[in-house]
Structure 1
Amino acid sequence: MTSAAVLVARAPERAAGLVARLRDGGLDVTAAPVIERAPATDPAPLDEAVRRLVGGAYAWSVVTSVNAVDALRAAAGRTGTDLATAATRWAAVGPATRTALEGAGLRVDLLPADDDATAAGIVAAFPAPGGTAGTAARVLLPLGDLARPTLPDGLAAKGWEPDVVTAYRTVRRELPADVAARARSGGFDLVVVTSGSVAREVARQAGTATPVVAIGRPSADVARAAGLTVAAVAASPTDEALAAAVVAALTTSDPSPTDVLTSKEHP
């Protein structure tokens, strides 16, 4: 196992914790992103949403990625507002997003169940709106431009009034030529994918021959749809769980995603 090679398809700074764990286990690890975050083409809608948020327009604000937290903080800076003064309750998709919100001085009031850190998990954990419609039922959803409608549709079905605002864009980033060539020639035993967007780009840039370890069920589903073989799925969207899933995939002759509970956070 000491000779096994793993590609973590993520920016080195975001992958540092996972890379360190895997290297401590004797693995040959390369970190390189296939996507990156870019600001929304027009920041005005997010800026206006933040003004409404601080003005008390939303009963809840639901955040599904660290990228969205960064975008909200940037919008608050542009508008001269303080997110901590907003009379809203905050929901986070998982531990990394919760940590980012708390780092911004915000209290997280809702997380999905530990084994379902997904948009669907948030919907399942969300309470029904109480009282009348209007501000009491409005929910701010600062999402990436490629986000699926699972969250707004699910909350609307529960009686909430979701306000979807594009917080950031996901754009392609090409692998370094040597990394792409190595991947296409079978130079990696596994690739770690941390979102559906990453899975699609891995298939496009590195081919579909190398099995992947997915951060959660939704990203695993996208990976399969892109023609990739999913060797394992992390129990939660954490470095520890991803590292455990990698080890399981490398040490089990017939790894099954059912052996590892699934979870998901967007990059």
Structure 2
Amino acid sequence: MTDLTGRTVLLPRSPGRAAGLEALLRHAGAEVTVAPVIERAPADDPEALATAVADVVAGRYTWVVITSVNAVDALAAAARAPLADAPVRWAAVGPATVRALAAAGITAELVPDEATADSLVSAFAAPSGPARVLLPLGDLARPTLRDGLAALGWQPDVVTAYRTVRSDLPDDVARRRYDVVVVTSGSVAREIAAQHGTVTPVVAIGRPSAEAAHAAGLTVAAVADHPTDAAIAAAVTTACEGAP
């Protein structure tokens, strides 16, 4: 990785989720500020989530589709029996969700080449008969998965697994100038625009985050090739190389 000495990076994630990327950037010489702009909150209807998890364990679903680590955590918290024993197949949107499932003893059988909802839909074949799919999503999720799978002939059930709520940046962090801000979701992009402004260029974790950043008025300097710490760090390097 190129020397990032003297470069300042805002990493708006929780300290636990930011640790790996923070270490890579600091090792390259960057000054990194970690401060989340969103956080997870429980679903408003925990009984709906508990019922969905019970149906998974009872074998009433063919697939469960995972699009975030938060969804894995929420399912595990709602489960009264090990999810790894459930007679269901698991799909995961990308490397982080694959790892989260593996930590719960679950193997993801379907993972798209690109970590997007569109690619996840494309990775599914049409079912041979009636088949239910559970989509445990955040409250702000777009209907891409639901609509795409329904168009293929699946019977998708959406349950809210968690809510995304705002976390305010400290005043000194919000006012400071940075060379790059990393955005890891559309929600993060929108909060960065609202709390920090749109002057600082951003590095996006993937295409959907980049699109959300553009829509929020942010300038996208680079997009990671993959949703991994190493790829995001490489994108930060690319963005800094092109900056004054």
TM range (shorter): over 0.9
- How far off its partner does 1:9 sit? 1.0
1:120 maps onto 2:110 in alignment: no
The CA distance in 1 between the partners of 2:205 and 2:52, in whole Å, is: 30
Provide Cα deviations, 1:53-107, integer angstroms capped at 9, x if missing partner.
Answer: 111100000000000000000000xxx2221221110000001100110110112
Identity %: 66
Unmatched tracts of structure 1, length 5 or more = 255-267
2:41 is aligned with what amino acid? A
Q: Provide the secondary structure at the position in 2 that maps to 1:218.
A: helix
The CA distance in 1 between the partners of 2:126 and 2:235, in whole Å, is: 35
1:216 to 206, 213, 221: 206
2:179 to 189, 196, 205: 189
Counterpart residue number, 2:127: 129
In the TM superposition, what are the counterparts of 1:60-209 in structure 2 within 5 Å?
60-76=63-79, 80-113=80-113, 116-130=114-128, 132-133=129-130, 137-182=131-176, 187-209=177-199
- How far off its partner does 1:226 sit? 0.5
Provide Cα deviations, 1:148-186, integer angstroms capped at 9, x if missing partner.
Answer: 00001000000000000000000000001110111xxxx
Unmatched tracts of structure 2, length 5 or more = none
The CA distance in 2 between the partners of 1:251 and 1:181, in whole Å, is: 24
Q: Provide the secondary structure at the position in 1 that maps to 2:10.
A: strand
Q: Provide the secondary structure at the position in 2 that maps to 1:143.
A: strand
Provide Cα deviations, 1:26-78, integer angstroms capped at 9, x if missing partner.
Answer: 111101100000010120001000111111100000000000000000000xx
The CA distance in 2 between the partners of 1:251 and 1:7, in whole Å, is: 17
Give TM-score, length-normalised by structure 1: 0.89
Residue-pair matches, total: 241
1:4 maps onto 2:7 in alignment: yes
- How far off its partner does 1:127 sit? 1.7
Counterpart residue number, 1:13: 16
- How far off its partner does 1:253 sit? 5.2
Q: Provide the secondary structure at the position in 2 that maps to 1:51.
A: helix
Give TM-score, length-normalised by structure 2: 0.97
Aligned-residue Cα RMSD (Å) equals: 1.0
